[in-house]
């Protein structure tokens, strides 16, 4: 173990003190960290979505849905799972998301980067197959 130079001190106890530092705390920190990683990995869903839209496609489809007031289904990633909501796109939220009116009348803000899939009854499938 390397020794810290404490020759500047006038007290002998400070000059001869050896800090156990990492040797003292390493087993505790390692066990805690390993436990935290196990808990995190057991709770988190690492599945990648099977289908993901490009940013341009999302913007085009959402603009189309907004202009025609189409009822669409949005699948988005929320925390650890994908969720689906049905409703109408009302407006843009600072070009980073949308304000969405759900079927139950409640409003929801959804970030564009969280959107995984957009579907409707007639327009989006032919657009995606182009």
In a domain, 64, yes or no: yes
In a domain, 120, yes or no: yes
In a domain, 100, yes or no: yes
Mean pLDDT of 98-118: 91
In a domain, 69, yes or no: yes
Domain count, the chain: 2
In a domain, 117, yes or no: yes
* Structure tokens belonging to residue 105: 């009348």
Coil, strand or helix: which one is 83?
strand
Task: Tell me: do 61 and 114 sit in the same domain.
Answer: yes
* Structure tokens belonging to residue 27: 């087993």
The predicted-structure confidence for 44-92, as pLDDT tens digits, reads as follows 655 555 556 788 888 888 988 899 898 999 999 888 788 999 999 999 9
pLDDT of residue 55: 84
Q: In whole angstroms, give the CA distance from residue 97 to residue 39.
A: 32
In a domain, 5, yes or no: no
Terminal alpha carbon distance of the chain: 66
pLDDT of residue 38: 79
Task: Tell me: do 70 and 119 sit in the same domain.
Answer: yes
Per the structure, the complete domain to which residue 87 belongs is given by 55-128
Q: In whole angstroms, give the CA distance from residue 100 to residue 76.
A: 12
pLDDT of residue 43: 66
């Amino acid at each position: 173990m390397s020794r810290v130079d404490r020759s500047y001190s006038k007290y002998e106890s400070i000059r001869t003190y050896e800090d156990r530092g990492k040797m003292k705390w390493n087993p505790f920190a390692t066990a805690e960290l390993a436990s935290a990683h196990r808990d995190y990995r057991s709770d988190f869903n690492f599945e990648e979505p099977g289908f993901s839209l490009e940013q341009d496609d999302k913007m085009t489809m959402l603009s189309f849905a907004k202009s025609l007031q189409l009822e669409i289904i949005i699948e988005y990633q929320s925390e650890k799972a994908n969720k689906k909501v049905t409703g109408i796109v009302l407006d843009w939220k600072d070009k980073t998301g949308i304000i969405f009116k759900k079927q139950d009348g409640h409003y929801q803000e959804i970030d564009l980067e969280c959107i995984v899939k957009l579907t409707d009854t007639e327009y989006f499938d032919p657009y995606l197959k182009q």
